[in-house]
Structures are given as structure tokens and as C-alpha cells.
């Protein structure tokens, strides 16, 4: 039996099992907490697996059911497919030269991969893990990819052309290009699909906002820190978090006013990419010089912990259930799987790994950042 196909056939079953385990574990946590049992000292998010990938892994995206992570290998011209149940690479898919950004359609059927070398986008059928159709020509050095919530369009930043390509996913043709400032890098789309936020790396140090109804830039560019790279939007659409590579900060944009709110959040030397948990409570930022991931509490916009990973982390994605983060380590040719602590009131537990999980614990004062 094909192991990949057998897991693919029952994605809803796997999701239901995970939800049931979450619920049962929560009940156990509450019982132990009330009885004063099973508590331990405060623990942080934990790397539970280091997964070999291809050469120079960069981007990462996770299927909507959480079953598989797709990792672009920039130095190999391939995409690694990781089974998140076992944290093993189950196959590699040849794509174009120097793949970077990757995004998966909301129904989980296809992965769109930006190939920087030839200036194309490859489309992978996730049921068969094969490339379908011819590569889609876009601009020069395509980097970031984001797909609208309805799955109809893919937005691709062309770092060498100063544009954003819009691909109709029904025909897999580029239907228009949108000029932006500087060197466009990251792209994220609001949950309602109305706007795409594009970071303008190096030259502009700004974020452009594209109205997806007209595919035009609206309003003045939003000034952030120097060399903005990754961008992610909170699940409620209220804020965009932008990693500023040069000053080592994260800027927070209020999407209602398209203005930066608060002071820049100090991270480390070189923050690069960003991901936000499904509940919107935490932001994960990779730092490719410090070899770590910083975790920001969105309630306070303070860094509450850092997690050591592999060398030169570049990409990060979080599973839809919020229990794990996957980080690509460019210089190590690996992917770090991080178990994310889950807190229920005063009780915290590690649910990122259903095997070998840390014991249920009571939250302590060490969990609260010192102001």
C-alpha cells in the first residue's frame, strides 16, 4: 500500500483524531491541575524533530488538514514533502531552479511554487505529488506566494521585476501584473481576500497594499523598518506583522488605518520570515543569523521566548491546529519541528507531539514576560 495515498485518503479522520486527543488531554490537564498533580516547572516550545530535507531549504507551507508540509529546496530544485504524523520526508518533487516561496490552495489540492531561476511557478498536485501542466511564466526572480481564501488567485512577488503577478488558478495563467516599489519579497492576503500586503525589500523599506478587486495599489506605501521581508496577517485581519531584516525588528500594521502602531519589536540581527498561530495569540519570527525563532505575544507585542533551531532558518509555517511550527534551516539542509505549548487558563501542556509529549504543567510566573 502506498503510505502517502493511505494517509491522503482520510484527512478528515486524522483531523478529528487530533481534535479528540486535544479535548481529552485538556480534560486530563484540568483534573490534574485541580488535584495538584502532574505539575512541573515552566517549559517553553520545544524542538521535537530535526528532519533532513534537500539542499538549502527555504519556503514551507502546510496543507489545510495539517497532514503534510511542503518545503522548497532552493539548492536542489525540488520540493520535499514531509508527513507531519511521522516527521519524515516521504518524497521529493522536482520543480524549477531555485524554488523559494510556496503556498497551498485552501482545499489542499495544489501547491504553487515560485522558481526564482527561470521566473516561473510550478503547480504540484498534492494527491499525486507530481507537477501538473507547464510552468507558469511570471516576472523575474519570483519569491513570495500567497493564495486568496477562495482559492481563485495566486499572488506572486517578482523581486527582479518590481511587480506582483496575479495567477488565475482555474486556468493557471498570469492574468495581470501589479507594479510595486523596490524589490517585492513577502506577500500575505487578508482573511476576507480583499487586500494583499507586499513587502518591498531593500530599496523602499515599505509595504504596498493591493486591492484584489482591482489589482491596483491603494493608498500611500506604509513605511516600516529597513529591508522588510516576511509578512503575515492575524486571523481576524486586524494586524499585519512585518519582519524588518536590517534593523532586526518587527513592525505591526493596523490594517484598518494602514499605519504602523507602537514601537518596532526588537528581535535579533536578521529576522526573515513570519507566521502567526491560528488563534492569533503568537507570532513566530525566524532569525537567520541568530539561528533561532522568536515568539511574540500579540496581546503585548513583546518577545516571550526564543527557540534555538538549525543554522540560518529562513521559512516558518504553523499547523492549522496550532500545535506545531515547521522551520526551514538553510545552512543545515534540515527542517525543525517545534511543539507549541498550549495553555488553558493557568494550565499549559505540550500538544505538538502526541508521542513523547512533555507532562502537563501548571503555568508559573516564568511564563509571564517581565516588563
Phi first, then psi: what are they for 31, rounded to 5°?
-65, -45
Q: Does 351 map to a domain?
A: no
The sign of the torsion formed by the CA atoms of 80, 165, 283, 235 equals negative
The CATH number linked to 57 is 2.130.10.10
Question: What is the pLDDT of the chain when averaged over all its residues?
Answer: 85
Reported as a single tens digit per residue, the pLDDT across 249-281 is 999 999 999 999 999 999 989 999 999 999 999
Q: Is the pLDDT at 318 greater than 60, yes or no?
A: yes
Q: How many CB atoms are located within 10 Å of the residue 31 CB?
A: 12
Burial 320-346 (b: 16+ CB within 10 A, else e): ebbbbbbbbbbebbbbbbbbbbbeeee
Banded pLDDT at 348 (limits 50, 70, 90):
low
Q: Does 22 map to a domain?
A: no
At residue 331, the 3 state secondary structure works out as coil
Q: Which of 62, 74, 77 is nearest to 15 (CA)?
A: 62
Q: Is the pLDDT at 14 greater than 80, yes or no?
A: no
Q: What is the tally of structural domains in the chain?
A: 1
Reported as a single tens digit per residue, the pLDDT across 186-240 is 999 999 999 999 999 876 689 999 999 999 999 999 999 999 999 999 999 999 9
Q: Does 128 map to a domain?
A: yes
Q: Does 24 map to a domain?
A: no
Specify the pLDDT at position 44. 79
Banded pLDDT at 342 (limits 50, 70, 90):
confident
Q: Is the pLDDT at 82 greater than 70, yes or no?
A: yes
Specify the pLDDT at position 16. 39
Banded pLDDT at 246 (limits 50, 70, 90):
confident
What cell was used for 258? 494602514
Q: What is the mean pLDDT of residues 97-113?
A: 98
The sign of the torsion formed by the CA atoms of 133, 135, 139, 141 equals positive
Banded pLDDT at 11 (limits 50, 70, 90):
very low
What cell was used for 261? 502602531
Q: Does 363 map to a domain?
A: no
Q: In sequence order, which residues have a C-beta less than 8 Å from that of residue 206 and are 6 or more positions away?
A: 181, 182, 200, 221, 222, 223, 224, 228
Q: In sequence order, which residues have a C-beta less than 8 Å from that of residue 87 and are 6 or more positions away?
A: 48, 49, 51, 337
What cell was used for 142? 519570483
What domain range is 212 assigned to? 46-339
Specify the pLDDT at position 75. 97
Specify the pLDDT at position 349. 53
Instruction: Please return the burial class of 197, using the count of CB atoms within 10 Å of its CB with bins 0-12, 13-18 and 19+.
Output: buried
Q: In sequence order, which residues have a C-beta less than 8 Å from that of residue 225 and are 6 or more positions away?
A: 205, 242, 244, 246, 247, 249, 251, 264
Inter-residue contact 124 to 110 (CB < 8 Å)? yes
Q: What is the spatial distance between Cα 182 and Cα 189, in angstroms, rounded to a whole number?
A: 19
Q: Does 292 map to a domain?
A: yes
Q: Does 346 map to a domain?
A: no
DSSP-assigned letters across all residues of 214-282: TTEE-SSPEE-SSSEEEEEE-TTSSEEEEEETTTTEEEEEETTTTEE-SSPEE--S-EEEEEE-TTSSE
Q: What is the mean pLDDT of residues 172-186?
A: 95
Percent above pLDDT 70 for the chain: 80
Reported as a single tens digit per residue, the pLDDT across 356-366 is 333 333 333 33
Q: Does 17 map to a domain?
A: no
Q: In sequence order, which residues have a C-beta less than 8 Å from that of residue 242 and are 6 or more positions away?
A: 186, 199, 207, 224, 225, 228, 230, 231, 250, 251, 252, 253, 274
Q: Is the pLDDT at 1 greater than 60, yes or no?
A: no
Inter-residue contact 3 to 90 (CB < 8 Å)? yes
Q: What is the spatial distance between Cα 323 and Cα 354, in angstroms, rounded to a whole number?
A: 10
Specify the pLDDT at position 181. 82
Specify the pLDDT at position 247. 87
Q: What is the spatial distance between Cα 61 and Cα 232, in angstroms, rounded to a whole number?
A: 13
Specify the pLDDT at position 142. 98
DSSP-assigned letters across all residues of 194-209: SEEEEEEETTT-EEEE
Q: In sequence order, which residues have a C-beta less than 8 Å from that of residue 368 and are 6 or more positions away?
A: none
The sign of the torsion formed by the CA atoms of 120, 204, 190, 87 equals positive
Percent above pLDDT 90 for the chain: 77
Amino acid at each position: 500500500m502506498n503510505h502517502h495515498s493511505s494517509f491522503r485518503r482520510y484527512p478528515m479522520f486524522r483531523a478529528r483524531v487530533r481534535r479528540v486527543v486535544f479535548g481529552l488531554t485538556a480534560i486530563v490537564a484540568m483534573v490534574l491541575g485541580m488535584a495538584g498533580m502532574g505539575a512541573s516547572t515552566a517549559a517553553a516550545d520545544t524542538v521535537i524533530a530535526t528532519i533532513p530535507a534537500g539542499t538549502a531549504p527555504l519556503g514551507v507551507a502546510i496543507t489545510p488538514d495539517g497532514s503534510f508540509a511542503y518545503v522548497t529546496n532552493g539548492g536542489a530544485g525540488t520540493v520535499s514533502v514531509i508527513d507531519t504524523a511521522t516527521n519524515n520526508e516521504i518524497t521529493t518533487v522536482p520543480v524549477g531552479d531555485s524554488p523559494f516561496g510556496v503556498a497551498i490552495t485552501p482545499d489542499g489540492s495544489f501547491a504553487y511554487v515560485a522558481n526564482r531561476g527561470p521566473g516561473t511557478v510550478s503547480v504540484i498536485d498534492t494527491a499525486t505529488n507530481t507537477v501538473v501542466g507547464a510552468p507558469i511564466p511570471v516576472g523575474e526572480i519570483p519569491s513570495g506566494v500567497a493564495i486568496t481564501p477562495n482559492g481563485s488567485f495566486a499572488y506572486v512577488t517578482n523581486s527582479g521585476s518590481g511587480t506582483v503577478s496575479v495567477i488565475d488558478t482555474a486556468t493557471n495563467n498570469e492574468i495581470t501584473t501589479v507594479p510595486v516599489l523596490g524589490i517585492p519579497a513577502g506577500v500575505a492576503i487578508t482573511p476576507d481576500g480583499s487586500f494583499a500586503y507586499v513587502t518591498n525589500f531593500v530599496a523602499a523599506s515599505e509595504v504596498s497594499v493591493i486591492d484584489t478587486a482591482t489589482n491596483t495599489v491603494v493608498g500611500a506605501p506604509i513605511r516600516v523598518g529597513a529591508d522588510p521581508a516576511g509578512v503575515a496577517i492575524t486571523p481576524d485581519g486586524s494586524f499585519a506583522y512585518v519582519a524588518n531584516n536590517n534593523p532586526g525588528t518587527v513592525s505591526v500594521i493596523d490594517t484598518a488605518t494602514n499605519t504602523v502602531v507602537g514601537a518596532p519589536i526588537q528581535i535579533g540581527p536578521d529576522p526573515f520570515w513570519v507566521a502567526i498561530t491560528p488563534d492569533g495569540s503568537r507570532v513566530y519570527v525566524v532569525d537567520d543569523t541568530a539561528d533561532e525563532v522568536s515568539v511574540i505575544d500579540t496581546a503585548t507585542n513583546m518577545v516571550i521566548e526564543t527557540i534555538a533551531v538549525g543554522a540560518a532558518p529562513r521559512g516558518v509555517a504553523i499547523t492549522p491546529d496550532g500545535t506545531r511550527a515547521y522551520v526551514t534551516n538553510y545552512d543545515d539542509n534540515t527542517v525543525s519541528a517545534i511543539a507549541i505549548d498550549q495553555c488553558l487558563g493557568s494550565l499549559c501542556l505540550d500538544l505538538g507531539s502526541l508521542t513523547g509529549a512533555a507532562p502537563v504543567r501548571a503555568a508559573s510566573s516564568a511564563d509571564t514576560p517581565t516588563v
